[in-house]
Every structure is written in structure tokens, then in C-alpha cells.
Structure 1
Amino acid sequence: MDCLKEVEGKRLHDRSVTPLPPPTKWIHEPIIVGAGPSGLAVAACLRQKGVPSLILERASCTAALWRTKTYDRLQLHLPKRFCELPLLPFPDHFPTYPSKEQFIAYLDDYASRFGLTPVFNQTVVCAEFDRSVQAWRVKAVGLKGHEEEYITKWLIVASGENAEEHVPVFEGSGEFEGRIIHTSSYKSGEAFKGRNVLVVGCGNSGMEVCLDLCNYDAKASIVVRESVHVLPKEMLGRSTFGLSMWLLKWLPISLVDQFLLLVSHLMLGDTAKYGLRRPKLGPLKLKNLTGKTPVLDVGTLPKIRRGDIKVYSGIKRLRCDGVEFVDGKVESFDAIILATGYRSNVPSWLKGTDMFGEDGYPSKPFPEGWKGKHGLYAVGFTKRGLLGASYDARKITEDIEKQWKASYNKHS
């Protein structure tokens, strides 16, 4: 690749140091770890400002999570105007809520338009700032175990909030004779027709998987362990999210939360009657403080009301043919689907920095979490979806562009 140059005794702008052993490669541009939407967004913004980058991606394609670990009926939960990446809107003919296939097509077009060519099958296993050369050493392993070491002045962490599946361990998991899968392996309810299926997790994915199971004549149940805000997907003829963003321009968040809860009660009724207790904090305030996203109902709640989907409390233990719940109820199930989300894997490979906490998220809250020390950046860890990633991408680009131009002028 033309952006890679052998170190052969080079430091950044300093040719008088001891040669580094191969296969170390000096990268004069920023390295981006991850070729999901966040990584593509920051790479495109940099390219638009004349700054090249090297994208390292552990999978064999861009947006691997969207391509390989999402269910068939998935659509964007927010209107497309809130999900577009910087510099390129969605096509006009796309619906308000694009499908998974349409979103992937948009990402492919995005990468093509900005000439983004990630290096695939490169799993970053370690990245650490080397004070002796004032740069980042990034070690990556290829498909056949071949290791490469890259050195760069700028490192952008774009591996995402959803890098690894979160798979809880229940007492008795080894006894359960049915199938247990994470939603990353779930495609549609067709494989579960006529089966008694328990979905663990009541976020947007869990609720939508339940609906999908019902549409394929499976007998679906859901575990709701914690309180959750369920809001209509649309209010007063507008998307709930879009309406919220508009109201926040004029009203404090507490009043907007009150409005959302009032309209939700009028449209959906008292969700607590169906086992869906609401948190004490309003949906927007809770999102800001914890990152917990309210559920935007796409048709699951009416099925819960009718009894088509049963709601259970937390799991106490698994049995050979079913589940014992914390309230003492015992039910039989053929399969369990874990809609338990994902987690960041940054702490497993990024070393020697206080930018990220043990949970794999930036220590500084939004909107300050995009920048660390010594040329370290983070994109897509705001818990604010693609809007947050776009914000990060623009801020990072502004910061690196200044350094890039200063460095170029200095050595031209």
C-alpha cells in the first residue's frame, strides 16, 4: 500500500535513530482502528481536508456488524436525516427509515465516493504510546497470524461501542437443553416457528425480535429485568426523536420529558400494567446521564397487551427444559435469544492511557470525549448513535488538519 513506508531507521521527521526491526512500518498519516460507520466518517472528513489515513479493520468488509450480525427486518430506528454521515445525505428516494440493506448500500457508496480503502483482516491487538519516538506503536495480526507493527503520530479509535457481544452467564446454563443464541446470530423468526422462545433483554432489539418471532408464529416471551421507557415511534405526525430535538431548542429537558411521557401515556396507556415499569428519570434525561436509549415501539406493545407476548421478571436460573424466574415462576422454553447488547473492547488492546475507562468508553463525558493525549482520538463512543459519531468525526478532523498542515509546511 502506497501509504505505508518502511521505517528503516526513521522516527517522525528524524532520520538519525536506531533502525527498528521489520516488519515495523512508519505511517505518516493517522491510523483509524475500525471500518464501521464511525471509522468511515472520520476517514471521509479527513480526506475531504486533504489528509489521508490508514484504516485497519479486523473483519473482511466494512460495517461488519451491520452486514453479518443484524437481523433481517432491521431498519434504522431514527429518521434518515439523523443517521447520515458527514458530507453525504441519504438518497432522496430512500424511505424515512431505511432498511438494513439500504443503509449498507449507503455505506458502500460513502466509502466509494471518498476513496476509502481499509486494510481488512487486520486485528489490532495492542496500541501504546512510545515516548522514545513520540508516536503510537500499533500491533495488528492478520489471518494467518502474521504480525505487523505500525507507528503513527495520530491514532483514532473507531472500534465502536458494539465491538463484542455481551453474553451473561446464568446459573444452570449448562443444563438447558434448548438453543441459546445472541441476537448477533439471529436472522429471522422463521427458524423458530411454533417454538416457545424467551428473549432476554427489553431494548429496541429485544422488543423487535419478539415482534419478528410473533410474525413467524413463534410463541414469544420477554424478560424485563429493569425499568424501561417505551415511547411511540412517532408523535403528532412526526418522529418522536425529531420532535424531541425540535422541542429541546425551546424548552428545558425536564419539560420535554414531561411532554413525551404525557403523550406516550395517551397513546400507549400505562405500560407498567404489562410489566414495563418506567424509570424515575425522564427518557431524555436518562439517555443523557446513562446512555440508556428509550424503546421506540414498532408494534410489539400491542402484542404484549393482547397477551401474544408474555413478560417475565429476571431469570434466577436455567433448567434442562426451561427457566426459573426470580418471582418463582417456572416456564418451559425451546430456545433463548439473548438481546443483551454489546460492549467496547478498547481496554483489551489500548494500553497506557487514561482516556478510556474500564468500561471501554472515554473517561470524559460528551462532548469532550473525542480527544485524548499525544494524538489519541475516539469516534463513535458518545452513546448518541450516528449523530454523535458525526460530531466526533468533525472535531477530530479539525484538530488533525491543523497539525497536518503545520507539519507539512515545516517539512516541505
Structure 2
Amino acid sequence: LAARLKRAGVPTIVVERNERAGDSWRKRYKSLHLHDPVWYDHMPYLPFPDDWPVFPSKDKVGDWLEHYADIMELNYWSGTECVGAEFDEAAGTWKVRVNRRGEDVELRPTQLVFALGVSGYPNTPSFPGADSFAGQQCHSSEFTGEEDYEGTRAVVIGSNNSAHDICATLWQKGADVTMVQRSSTHISRSESLMDLGLGPLYSEEALANGVTTEKADMLFASWPYALLPDAQKPVYDAMAERDAEFYQQLRDVGFDLDFGEDGSGLFVKYLRRGSGYYIDVGASQLLIDGEVALASGQVERIESDAVVLDDGTRLPADLIVYATGYGSMNQWLTDIISPEVADRVGKVWGFGSDTKRDPGPWEGELRNMWKPTNVEQLWIHGGNLHQSRHYSKYLTLQLKARMEGISTPVYGLQEVHHTE
């Protein structure tokens, strides 16, 4: 977004709490790689080299982001934490308070954009007895995978992308690993997803056929979200048929599978929830082979040396990793601005209507993403790398228009006149 704004001549400052651009990637668990193929994840104006791995490592992506900020000459303030913001009605600007490496600074932007990914704070559930646990426990966002886990009894609570990756890392390190699945999960095998789901638009073959990244983005975005589930169902029907044996093996070990609430698969589930899926790059086979144990149910309590499920199953543990996802981005608005502003904006992400706005024209869109919110001069940008690349175009156009004083009315319910 900052790169596009710079190209459009819109003065922009990026405020980043980490010391270096890309640290949000570098600080994650060691085995983390992109689960989407590289053709799906290019940056605007500066695509990844054509000899890059299909699934680059977290450090490779982090370094690329750091170099990107330098090459694109972005006004990028790292080591800077936003500690609060409020709108100055008299001046028509925001007052944004930041701490830049120990120095308090007040910024006065006209437009304020929250560009914080897809999620809010790490969601660490509070289970009875957690304080009594004698071993190590952490959220997946804190897990690095760099310790010696040989012989460790590890329980990973969760069954989505991070849970699978972390289970595989712990198994490789010699731990005795159990995954706790609390709700159903959609799994797409990486090879099938690339072939059936992304291949026609984002692949070497597509590029060879003249489908550039920009063209692919436009083709994909041409499907209104309200119609997308029906368009996606045939893809996942074909995947279910192609990988029938794989899915049956998972069911045989007790894994609770789904293909989304209506069979529309991974991407629509991501749009609706931002979670609930795993792109299989190998960890599913560990479950099938029994190398990683699987337990199903809700956590009832934690004891000093075990996790106890609601059916009485007791899982001995020296390490507990909460791969339990993240809260809503709305929480950032609550803490940085105010609960009142967060309430006015309403829910962020997921299909549906924005609160306090007539629901009709907004149904079938992502809530509050890349478009005017119920709070003037406040915007939310995010999504995966593909969405951030594509929809940053439209957010940039809106911000540029406002800077130039061009009228950009927000559409609402219109009276419809029918004629015979």
C-alpha cells in the first residue's frame, strides 16, 4: 500500500513496531514457509525473482520485505510503536501518538490506515489449571522451534496451519507430539491446490500463456464474493475426488474434516473466518502414519503435567503450544483509538454487512476492508499477500481522490424504479 501511495504522490508514513521490516516473518517458528506458491504472492512493481523456491522460507520473505522498503524508498519508521490516536474535529486530522525508539512523537495525518494483516492479538484461551502447569506453555506466535525437544512430551492445541507446522517441527526435533483437534478443519493438499485452485491463474504455465499477475488478479477479482462460493465448489469437488484416498486415511485416524460450510473450500472459508484450514505440505502424513498422535475434544483443564480433555482423556505434557489463532482486528481499534470508535466501525473481516449501515448493498463483501468505514478518514487494509497487492490499488485510488478533493460518494441504498 505504501509503495502504491508513493507512486500516486500521496505523502505516507509507515509506523512499524518491529526493529526491521520483515520481522513479523523472521520472529515466527523456524519451519515457517509460504504455503501459497510464489506466483500468487508477488509484490507490486517488484516481483520475486523467477528462480525463487515455490514456497520461500520466512526469513527469505522477511529479507525481501526489508529490501523492498529500501528499494521503493518508503518513508518507513521501524522501531516505532503507535500508542494512541484520536481525531481532531477542529483540524480535520488525526492526532497519532507514537514512540520512536524512546522519543514521543505526534503525527498529524489526514487519513489513518490500519494495515495489520488479517487478525488482532494472539488468542490464548484461559483453561482452568493453566497456572499450575510445571512445564513450558506458549502461543504459536511465540514458538520458535529452535530449542532441543528430544524426548519432550508436547501437546499442540489446534489443528490449522500453525498447529500442523509446529507439530511437524516438534516431531523432527524428537518430541512425542499430540495434536488436539477441537473443531473440524479443511485440508487441501498443496499439489492439488496449486493444480486445481490456483494453477489456471497463478503458475508458470499461466504465465507462459500470457496470464500475468495483474491479469490474474483482475480475473480473480471479477467474481463478486457473493457468487464466489458456487464458483469454488467444483474445484473442491474435484479435489475431494482426486484425493479421496488421502482424505479417507485422515478420517480413519479420527481427523474431523470439512470442505467449508457449503463445500466451497479453503479460500471462501478464509474469507469468512480467516482460519479453519491447513494447506498440507507434509504434516498430514505424520497424522496418518501415527508419528503425530491425534486427540479430539475440548480441553477441560490443565494439570501440572498434563492436558485433560472433556471425555477424561489425559495427555501427559512437558510443553503446551496454543495454536489457537488470533482475535479480530477490531481489537486494535479499541486499544489504539477507543471502544466507541471500534463499535462504530463494527466487525472486521468475514462476509456480511457493516453495523449501523443499511445492510443491502454491503452484503457479500468483506466487512470494512479496503473501503470507507463508518468512521471518516479511517481505513483498514490487509489480507494475504495476494489481496494486499491487488486491493491496495483501490484503496490508493480512494486516498488519492480525497487528497485531491475529488468527490467520491459512498454508495448506499438507492430507490429502484421498475418500468414495464
The TM-score with structure 1 as length reference comes to 0.79
Give the residue type in structure 2 aligned to 1:289: R
**How far 1:256 sits from its partner (Å)?**
2.3
Deviations 1:210-258 (A, max 9, x none): 111111211111010000111211129x445414868988972222232
Q: Percent identity?
A: 26
2:317 to 328, 333, 352: 333
Larger deviation, residues 357-366 vs 72-81 = 357-366
The TM-score with structure 2 as length reference comes to 0.78
Deviations 1:280-306 (A, max 9, x none): 432244333333352111211222122
Q: Is the 8 A contact 2:114 2:381 kept in 1?
A: yes
- Is 2:402 the partner of 1:370? no
Give the residue type in structure 1 aligned to 2:335: S
Deviations 1:106-132 (A, max 9, x none): 212211221014223332222222222
How far apart in 1 are the matches of 2:389 and 2:315?
Answer: 45
**Match for residue 72 of structure 2?**
114
Give the residue type in structure 2 aligned to 1:401: K
**Match for residue 231 of structure 2?**
252
How far apart in 2 are the matches of 1:379 and 1:405?
Answer: 21
- Is 2:110 the partner of 1:164? no
How far apart in 1 are the matches of 2:120 and 2:272?
Answer: 22
How far apart in 2 are the matches of 1:59 and 1:109?
Answer: 15
**How far 1:199 sits from its partner (Å)?**
0.7
**How far 1:268 sits from its partner (Å)?**
3.8
Give the residue type in structure 1 aligned to 2:262: L
Going from structure 1 to structure 2, the CA distance change for 1:368 and 1:162 (only over 3 Å counts) comes to closer
Q: Is the 8 A contact 2:184 2:276 kept in 1?
A: no
Q: Is the 8 A contact 2:370 2:381 kept in 1?
A: yes
Q: Is the 8 A contact 2:349 2:368 kept in 1?
A: no
Alignment of 1:5-404 (within 5 A): 42-68=1-27, 70-144=28-102, 146-188=103-145, 190-235=147-192, 238-239=194-195, 241-243=197-199, 252-279=231-258, 280-282=261-263, 283-284=265-266, 285-313=268-296, 314-343=298-327, 344=329, 345-351=332-338, 352-353=340-341, 356-357=345-346, 363=354, 365-366=365-366, 369-372=369-372, 373-380=375-382, 382=383, 385-404=384-403
How far apart in 1 are the matches of 2:122 and 2:253?
Answer: 28
How far apart in 1 are the matches of 2:201 and 2:64?
Answer: 24
How far apart in 1 are the matches of 2:200 and 2:333?
Answer: 32
Q: Is the 8 A contact 1:182 1:337 kept in 2?
A: yes
How far apart in 2 are the matches of 1:126 and 1:220?
Answer: 42
SS of the residue 1:234 aligns to: helix
SS of the residue 1:47 aligns to: helix
How far apart in 2 are the matches of 1:360 and 1:140?
Answer: 26
How far apart in 2 are the matches of 1:107 and 1:193?
Answer: 34
How far apart in 1 are the matches of 2:389 and 2:147?
Answer: 36
Q: Is the 8 A contact 2:36 2:55 kept in 1?
A: yes
**Match for residue 3 of structure 1?**
none
SS of the residue 1:252 aligns to: helix
How far apart in 1 are the matches of 2:344 and 2:15?
Answer: 20
**Match for residue 213 of structure 2?**
none
Larger deviation, residues 167-176 vs 111-120 = 111-120
Going from structure 1 to structure 2, the CA distance change for 1:186 and 1:209 (only over 3 Å counts) comes to same
How far apart in 1 are the matches of 2:100 and 2:325?
Answer: 27
How far apart in 2 are the matches of 1:205 and 1:244?
Answer: 27
User: What is the total number of aligned residue pairs between the two structures?
Assistant: 360
SS of the residue 2:148 aligns to: helix
**How far 1:180 sits from its partner (Å)?**
0.5
**Match for residue 6 of structure 1?**
none
Runs of 5+ unmatched residues, structure 1? 1-41, 408-412
Runs of 5+ unmatched residues, structure 2? 203-218, 355-361, 407-420
How far apart in 2 are the matches of 1:187 and 1:287?
Answer: 25
**Match for residue 24 of structure 1?**
none
How far apart in 2 are the matches of 1:245 and 1:227?
Answer: 29
SS of the residue 1:347 aligns to: helix
How far apart in 1 are the matches of 2:242 and 2:271?
Answer: 21
**How far 1:267 sits from its partner (Å)?**
3.7
Going from structure 1 to structure 2, the CA distance change for 1:241 and 1:72 (only over 3 Å counts) comes to farther
Q: Is the 8 A contact 1:232 1:240 kept in 2?
A: no
Q: Is the 8 A contact 1:347 1:360 kept in 2?
A: no
Give the residue type in structure 2 aligned to 1:281: D
Going from structure 1 to structure 2, the CA distance change for 1:359 and 1:333 (only over 3 Å counts) comes to farther
Q: Is the 8 A contact 2:22 2:66 kept in 1?
A: no
How far apart in 1 are the matches of 2:90 and 2:245?
Answer: 63
Q: Is the 8 A contact 1:155 1:375 kept in 2?
A: yes
